[in-house]
Structure 1
Amino acid sequence: MTLHPAGTPESKHGWWRLLDRNQWAVFIVASMAWLIDCFDQQIFNLARDGAMEDLLGKQLATEYAPYTTSVFLVGWAVGGLILGSLGDRFGRVRMLLIAILMYALCTGLSAFSTGFLDFCFYRFITGVGVGGVFGLAVALVSDSTPQMARPQALGTLQSLSTLGNISAGLTGMAVGIYALHQALPLNLKVWQTLFIIGAFPALLLIPFLWRMKEPAKWVAAKKAGEQKGIKFGSYSNLFKHPVWRKHAWLGLLLCSAGIIGLWGIGNFHPKIIRSIVDTHLATAGLSADALASEKAYWSSIGLMLQNVGGFFGMLALAKVAQIYGRRLAFALALTLSFLATLMVFKCLREIDQIYWMLPLMGFGQYSVFSVYAIYLPELFPTSLRSTGISFCYNLGRLLAASAPFTLGQITRNLGGDIEAFRTSGMAVSFILLLGIFVLPFLPETKDKLLPED
């Protein structure tokens, strides 16, 4: 089969014109699943520090807040590995439904935590559900959309996730403003309110997923595979095959760089913002609750600005990947992420700087994720697509889970204050460059068909 490269008459029409009604439904539901998943992730980032300060006290919160992120990321990795494999075996739609139910329920239960251990338990189970969504949603869209529309559809799916992040930022701002002017309902804390709100959007998708059918391509491949004795979702098959094994391990290293950059470092920028707010309002005479509301408000603004930059970064690098190739796009995105992260951790000192530094960091850190969405499905066959994507994208969470521990330990060894935290973030950010070194050993898949068994 011959592909039409970018620039031919067929590709000049918008990619969305190539989708029929059913394909549009799949794209919308999969995109919403990932968007709401990201909303839930960022609600955690906004609520984490406040929860730890309330449950453990301010002094212990600085050390233990990163550990809750590590627990969340471990759950994310476990969920991705298990649900990704089950998605190849039993269907993308069915497993996506289960994943959403898990993270919606346990996000809500996080609001009722009474200590560090039960908070971590809820975050781990939430992570299991969250971890399954990306691989399943990307595999679902890859198997459902036409070849010519697939890269643009996947890049758009990933870009739309920033709207979930921005929605979380707006939610945090609204809760912070409300809490500042009057008590929250039922005497809830800001962090509890955020977790309760975070539980509901995912439930709206349940009726649509309940009625959705599995992709015809997956159904046909599964039937043919059963006749040939091909086992779908098998990690044994993934690692026995020399090509898929190579793609899996190198893809893991590539994903780990960007994931550690964002989750191990970049998503801790609320800690820097909260320290700036502390300094800025030190003489304002605010009560503890009022100061917590101000911190939630400014952390939400920071999150929103980061994701505005991320939205444009993902769209831009998806276009670079489409026109110039996946490997060049990865190299550019990881370099931008590294430079922008160093700038924020070293130079962000005043509230006014939030408005331009965080969008730049978001542009770099999130841009690499749109290329993941485009590239990873192109590395694995139908029988291993969800498995391979989830292995690369989610096992990297285990490596990323070590970054908050590393960040916490370096910070404590350097004195435990915010300056030590800044230095720690800059040191760990060099991991972003790891992904560039594996690119020459991975194939360029631009304008190539998805692999099959």
Structure 2
Amino acid sequence: MSNSILESPPDLPVGNGVVLTRYHWKSLFGSMTGYAMDGLDLMVLSYVMSFVIKDLHLTSAQAGSISTITLLGSVIGGYVFGILADIYGRVKIFSYSILIFSVFTGLTAFVHNLFWFDVMRFVAGIGLGGEFGIGMTLVTEVWPKTHRSRATSVVAIGYQLGMIIALVCSMIFVPNFGWQSAFLIGALPALFAWWSRRSLKEPDIWLERRASGSLKGSFPIVKLFDSPKRAGTTIGLIIMTSVQNFGFYGIMTWLPTMLAKQLHFTFNKSLTWTLVTILGMMVGILLFGQISDRWGRKPSYLIFQFGAAIIIWLFFHQTNPTVLLGLGFLMGFLVDGMMGGYGASMAEHYPTEARSTAENVIFNTGRAIGGFGPYVIGYIALTHSLGYAMGLLSAIYILAALAVIFLLPESKNKALV
């Protein structure tokens, strides 16, 4: 009998006595799809913003605040849902976060003024914030340690897949049915929340901790700083995820503008660069998962961080369109490839009763700090060129590399506790 899209491949031996079962694949598919909602949301809002501005009569400042409000909601939601998932279960809270995101994204299609638009975006952001960390936690607790980083890299490319799906759907529906149709599409993941609640079970390691009573009476966030070593690890990971998000948001927000204004790229050339860069990101993420499981976490991060610092500096000293296209692929590969490892790295340094909290608090703190990337680059560009401001990004990857060297312990093949 053939598998449907919601079914999983059969059991697969992968060597050294490790067998990947149907549940491994289900947890991977569920978590990847959950994170795809993040990328879908970003692209939908970006694509329809001009229509929303016209229909709701918004100023540029009011339009800009929508993204900020959504980001604020996602940070708050990441903290809250991360803690709840450690206390009440990964699958249960994961499905609730997707349901909240879906419902309030769909309701956005029915608002007619900025106040209610902001309210819907804020609450949708709360649901959105929980999906990365909980999905990563679920996968890391289910998949074997020898394939942990490879599994989280597949979850991570869900973001880019979500961006592509949103772009294609928006191009098909928005011209014919208006901007509201894009948000109605965003309501469809509610069906996925129903499926995940029925098809996924809580990881055995979490069920064992609950049965032993170790989940009672504890506040998970405290365990992120319960020893000097762990506090240092937490700070190091926050630095790394902040740099990750700062670079991603800064480059994806400003580079098309720089290509158009300073290098006189046409819209089609800028779009081609964007698509090539996204492809580079996806290849980089998947490859990072492979080398992280084979060579270790620290060497993999250092290769990509130093590589990102070099390629960014080179990119912003070029003017040849063909060279920029090739370097754009490499820049996407190196700058975003590290997303393939954060889920595994964060999971391996914290106990089960605080793992989801660690994933969501660390990543969403990094997202909050990194969210200032577009503003900082824009501010520097007021007194210097935009190319100069973008070139400064290379320095922040050296900061991330120093965090890896001095604060991040190696955790390859570490058993979860």
TM over 0.5: yes
- Structure 1 regions of 5+ residues with no counterpart? 1-10, 281-294
CA distance in 2 between counterparts of 1:24 and 1:373 reads 17
Q: Describe the shift of the 1:113–1:335 C-alpha distance in structure 2 as closer, same or farther (beyond 3 A).
A: farther
Alignment partner of 1:31 is 2:32: yes
Confirm or deny that 1:126 pairs with 2:124. Answer: yes
Matched with 1:262 is 248
State the Cα distance separating 1:367 from its structure 2 match.
Answer: 0.2
Matched position secondary structure for 2:396: helix
Aligned 8 A contact 1:252 1:396 in 2: yes
Deviation, structure 1 residue 44: 2.7
**Alpha-carbon distance between aligned partners in 2 of 1:167 and 1:346, rounded to the nearest angstrom:** 33
Identity %: 24
CA distance in 1: counterparts of 2:154 and 2:209, whole angstroms: 26
Give the structure 2 partner of residue 79 of structure 1. Answer: 77
Return closer, same or farther for 1:45/1:232 CA change in 2, 3 Å cut-off. Answer: farther
SS of 1:82 mapped into structure 2? helix
Which deviations, in whole Å up to 9, do the C-alpha atoms of 1:177-216 show, x marking residues without a partner? xx3xxxx22xx25xx443333332x223122122132122
Aligned mates of 1:206, 1:14 — CA distance in 2:
33
Separation of aligned partners in 2, 1:111 and 1:305: 31
Is 1:433 equivalent to 2:403 in the alignment?
A: no
Q: Does residue 146 of the first structure (1) align with residue 131 of the second (2)?
A: no
Give the deviation of 1:222 after TM superposition. Answer: 1.8
- The answer on whether the counterparts of 1:252 and 1:393 sit within 8 Å (CA) in structure 2 is yes
Corresponding pairs, count: 404
Alignment CA distance shift 1:131-1:120 (3 Å): same
Q: Distance in 1 between matches of 2:338 and 2:130?
A: 20
Per-residue CA shift, 1:49-99, capped at 9, x if unaligned?
664476567xx53x6665543333222221111111111011111111111
Quickly say closer, same or farther: Cα 1:53–1:325, change in 2 above 3 A.
Answer: farther
One-letter identity of the residue aligned with 1:220? E
- Give 1:109 shift: 3.9
- Give the counterpart letter for 1:206 in structure 2: A
Q: Does 1:366 align with 2:366?
A: no
Supply the AA of the counterpart residue of 1:128.
I
Query: In 1, Cα distance between the equivalents of 2:101 and 2:17?
Result: 30
Please, which moves more after superposition, 76-85 or 202-211?
A: 202-211
**Using a 3 Å threshold, how does the CA distance of structure 1 residues 324 and 229 change in structure 2: closer, same or farther?**
closer
Per the alignment, residue 193 of structure 2 pairs with: 206
Q: Give the aligned partner of residue 408 of structure 2.
A: 442
CA contact (8 A) 2:79 2:360 kept: yes
After superposition, what is the alpha-carbon deviation per residue over 1:308-342, rounded to whole angstroms, capped at 9, x for unaligned?
11111111222221222111211222233344445
Of 38-47 and 136-145, more deviation after overlay is shown by 38-47
Verify: 1:239 aligned to 2:225, yes or no. yes
Of 206-215 and 82-91, deviating more is: 206-215
Which stretch shifts more, 352-361 or 402-411? Answer: 352-361
Residues 23, 447 of structure 1: alpha-carbon distance in 2 compared, 3 angstrom cutoff? closer
Structure-1 residue corresponding to 2:8: none
Alignment of 1:163-174 (within 5 A): 163-174=161-172
Equivalent residues in 2 for 1:163-202 (5 A)? 163-174=161-172, 179=175, 184-185=176-177, 188-189=178-179, 192-200=180-188, 202=189
Bigger helix share? 1
Higher mean C-alpha displacement, 204-213 vs 392-401: 204-213
Match of 1:400 in 2: 370
Of 293, 312, 325, 1:322 maps to 293
Q: What is the rounded CA distance, in whole Å, between the counterparts of 2:255 and 2:144 in structure 1?
A: 39
2:290 and 2:208 map into 1 onto residues whose CA distance is 31
- Give 3-state SS (helix, strand or coil) of 1:379's partner: coil
